Structure formats: C-alpha cells, structure tokens
A and B are shown apart, each in its own frame.
Chain A
Amino acid sequence: MVSVALILLFVLSCIVLRLISVIRRTRTRFSDARPTPPKTCSLAVFLGSGGHTSEALVLLSALDFSRYSPRKYIYSQGDILSAKKAVNLESLKAPECTSHPSVPQVHSTDATTPYTLVSIPRARRVHQSLFTTPVTAARSLITCLYHVTIAPLLSGHPFADVLVVNGPGTCCMLCLAVYVNRFFGFHSPKMIYVESFARVKTLSLSGKLLRPFVDRFVVQWPELLNDGGRGECRGWLI
C-alpha cells in the first residue's frame, strides 16, 4: 500500500513539475527565438459566433494572408453564420490562390488549399447554466484533442503554428488541448489571446482562466491591466 502511494506521489510530482516547466517556458517569450524568420506561418482562429466572430475576422483582415497561410477557421457546430463570414473574408482577401475547400472538414492542409473550416461542439451555449457546462465542455474538449493532438500525430501535419482566440468558453477547450501537446512535447501552436473590445473594466471568464497560460495576452482597454497582472495593451485592435 505504502509503495503504491509512493509511486502515485512520484508520478503526480512528475506531472506537476512538467506542468510548471511548460507554463514557465510559455511565459518566457524569447525562449525559442528563431535565427531566421519563417517564410509562412499556418494560422488557426476560433470564431466563437456573434461579436467574437466579427472581432476575430476584423483582426485577421489586418494580416498579410500570403504570410499567414494556410488558415484554419474553427467554428462551433451549427454556427453556419460564422463559417459563412469566414468564407466572405477569404473572398475579400482573395490572393493569388482561388481554390476553395470542397469539404468543410479537412484534416490536413497543403499549399493548394489556402484555408479550411473545422467545426467543434460548443463548450457552453449562450445563456447555458454554468452548472451544466462541465458536461458540454468535456465533449468539446474531446473534439479539440482530436484536431489539435491526435489528427496531427496521425497525419504528420501540425495543427497550426499560431492559434488566435478571443474569448468564448469553447476557446478554453482549444487552449487546453494545446497544453496537452506542450505537456507531451508535441508540436503546439503559439496561443494568442485577444480580449474582446467589449471588455472595458473586467476580463471575461475565459480571459481570467487563460491569462496565465497563453503566449500573448492582449487587452484593448488599459484599465484591464490595472491589477498589475500579465498582459499587454496596444489600444483598440479592431
């Protein structure tokens, strides 16, 4: 009995130490500075519907799509509006590539498909009670783990180089899946969290949860950093 307890304690300590080391490395921004700049970066963005989708797409519209390619738009199951808005943005920014994905869910991307659309179950619906959220969140997490951890391992194509999220509950599941990759030393995207423009005086629940764990925590109103916690404010990004 004692030896079992000791072994469990040992395993638990390893897990905790590994987590601490992963979190520390995430917060030391220059720990993996590249000697030469990359040519392109694959980008994934979570479109959380409503204002989250609008803001995320405004942010993306500012980017050079030839640099950030291929792109993956992740949206909540059933939220066709967000998927349509993503397609709209792509047509607006239509670069030299004019090919469109023929199937909404594609598990690998290559140079001929500049963007793909991926749907995942919502972790929490609007107005859903926080009590029932753990169940829906678990379902969402499993799908995120599939796309972020398992499918890339099986196909050899990484999920993305950078993941941009801006607040809705489901993005926490995505970030959690990214952390699983980091924990095991698999390829993981940089996580950029941009708090919504709507958050002036208080952070969202997702913001509070993810603040210690993401690579960049960006707010759009300076008051949000008055608590001295980590993060940066560059003014209005939208």
Chain B
Amino acid sequence: MYAFVTVGSTRFDGLVQRALSDAVLDVLRAKGYSKIVVQCGNSEFDTKSYEWTGETWVRRGEEHIEVWRFKPSLQEEYEQADLVISHAGSGTIIDVLRLRKPLIVIPNSTLLDNHQEELASTLAQLRHLKASTISELPKAIESLEPSGFVPFPVFDGSRFREMLDEEMGFA
C-alpha cells in the first residue's frame, strides 16, 4: 500500500520531520504501507539519511521512501495513494476527499490565526476525515478505520453558477 504525505504549496517543517521520523515510518510499515512519499514543499528536514537523485531524495537503504518538493499536480499521487496525510489546507482536503481517499490532516498552526484548525475539526466531526496533531500522528495512523469515513459530497457547480448568473443579469 502507498502512503502519500503532502504539505501543499507552503512550508510545514513539523509535519515533514514527523512523517520521516522512525515513530511514523514504523507504524506505517506495520500497517502494510510499503511505499511512502513525502511532498515537502518549502519545508526543511534533515537530509543526512537521504540520497539526492537529481529529482528526489531517496532514503538510503530504503528506496521505497522518497521526498520531493513540488509537482505541478498531485492528482496522480492522490489517485494512487491508499492513505493521504496532509496539512489541513482546503485545496488539498477537497482534492483528496473528492477521490474518496482516507485522509489524516494536521492543521498548520503557524498560519494566520491558525485558520486550518476550524476546517479540520469541523470536517472531522462530520466524519469526512481524521484530524490529528504532529505528536499524535503515529496513534492516528494506528487507529485509522478507512471504512468509518463519510463520503464527501459530489461537486455541485450550479450554486456558484446561478449566483453569478443572477448577479450579472443572465438569470
């Protein structure tokens, strides 16, 4: 199985470092995730145990663990993943939940007024995803029940379209 970790377009050192820690890698391995990829954005992490291939960092001795900064689209990663662990950015959340993938989010509390926290906890209450913290991440992975999630509603573009048509005099 494939676990994909993403921090979106900014920087979230805490999540990247935790995701690459033994505590998390061990529990992922134990749960059967044989491929682990971390999209680290502008985050910093200790590259000592990694080999730079020119495009990605690959963990020495464990080629199934790799890290890279950006790709123009993460759609393919989301589609292939069996588990996504990400920051609680709304864009990522929407993209992943629309693909009906199990999602664990960690709000990035360094952002302006900690706005990721609201969305994470509300969607967790609605059982669309699991919200956790950097320190609790191994536990969250361990206790994950993918079948317990409520599917995210399908995109309904008519609401915005109708509102704009109304405003602009097309309605």
**Residues of chain A at the chain B interface (Cβ within 8 Å):** 29, 33-34, 37-38, 41, 49-55, 58-59, 61-64, 67-68, 81, 84, 88, 126-127, 161-162, 164, 190, 192, 194, 196-202, 204-205, 215-216, 218, 221, 232, 234-238
Residue of A201, A216, A221, A234 touching B167 (CB-CB under 8 A):
A216
A-B residue pair count with CB separations less than 8 angstroms:
111
Q: A58-B94, A162-B168, A198-B90 are in contact. Are A50 and B8 (CB under 8 A)?
A: yes
Known: A55-B91, A81-B70. 5 other contacts (CB 8 A): A34-B169, A49-B9, A64-B161, A196-B90, A198-B89
Asked whether B112 is an interface residue with its Cβ less than 8 Å from the other chain, the reply is yes
Among residues of A, the one whose C-beta sits closest to the C-beta of B92 is A51
Q: Does B21 sit at the interface, judged by CB under 8 A? A: no
Q: State the CA gap A118–B154 with chains docked (Å).
A: 32
Which residues of B are in contact with A by a Cβ distance under 8 Å? 8-11, 70, 72-73, 89-92, 94-95, 110-113, 115-116, 118-119, 122, 153, 155-161, 163-165, 167-170
Using CB atoms, name the residue of chain A closest to B152: A236
Q: Are B8 and A51 in contact (CB under 8 A)?
A: yes
Point out the residue from A33, A50, A54, A237 that lies within 8 Å of B160, measured CB to CB: A237
Distance between Cα atoms of A54 and B92 in the complex (Å): 9
Q: Are A215 and B8 CB-contacts (below 8 A) given A50-B89, A62-B158? A: no
CB of A26 to closest CB in B, whole Å: 12
Which one of A62, A162, A218 lies within 8 Å of B157 (CB-CB)? A62
Q: Can you name the residue of chain A whose Cβ is closest to the Cβ of B72?
A: A84
Q: What are 8 A-B interface contacts by the 8 Å CB criterion?
A: A49-B9, A51-B90, A51-B92, A54-B90, A127-B110, A194-B160, A198-B118, A218-B163
Q: Which 5 residue pairs are nearest across A and B when measured between Cβ atoms?
A: A62-B157, A54-B91, A51-B91, A198-B90, A200-B118
Q: Is the CB of A238 within 8 A of B94?
A: yes
CB distance from A208 to the nearest CB of B (A): 11
B8 contact set on A, CB distance < 8 A = 50-51
**Closest CB in chain A relative to B150 CB, distance in Å:** 14
Q: Could you tell me the distance in whole angstroms from the C-beta of A86 to the nearest C-beta in chain B? A: 12
Q: Do residues B168 and A38 form an inter-chain contact, with CB atoms below 8 A?
A: yes
Are A190 and B163 within 8 A (Cβ)?
Answer: no
A146 to B73, CA, bound (A): 32
- Which residues in A have their C-beta under 8 angstroms from that of B111? 126-127
Interfacial chain A residues near B72, Cβ < 8 Å: 81, 84
How far is B112's CA from A52's CA once the two chains are assembled, in angstroms?
14
Are A59 and B160 CB-contacts (below 8 A) given A51-B92, A126-B111, A238-B155?
A: yes
How far apart are B44's CB and chain A's nearest CB, in angstroms?
14
Shortest Cβ gap from A48 to chain B (Å):
11
- Check A50/B161 contact, CB under 8 A, given A198-B90, A198-B116: no
> Is B119 a contact of A38 with CB atoms below 8 Å?
no
What residue in chain B is nearest A41 (Cβ atoms)? B168
- Select from chain B the residue with minimum beta-carbon distance to A54: B91
Cα(A216)–Cα(B157), bound, Å = 17
Contact across chains for B91 and A37 when beta carbons are under 8 A apart: no
User: How many Å lie between the Cα of A127 and that of B170 in the bound state?
Assistant: 41
- In contact, A37 and B170 (Cβ under 8 angstroms): yes
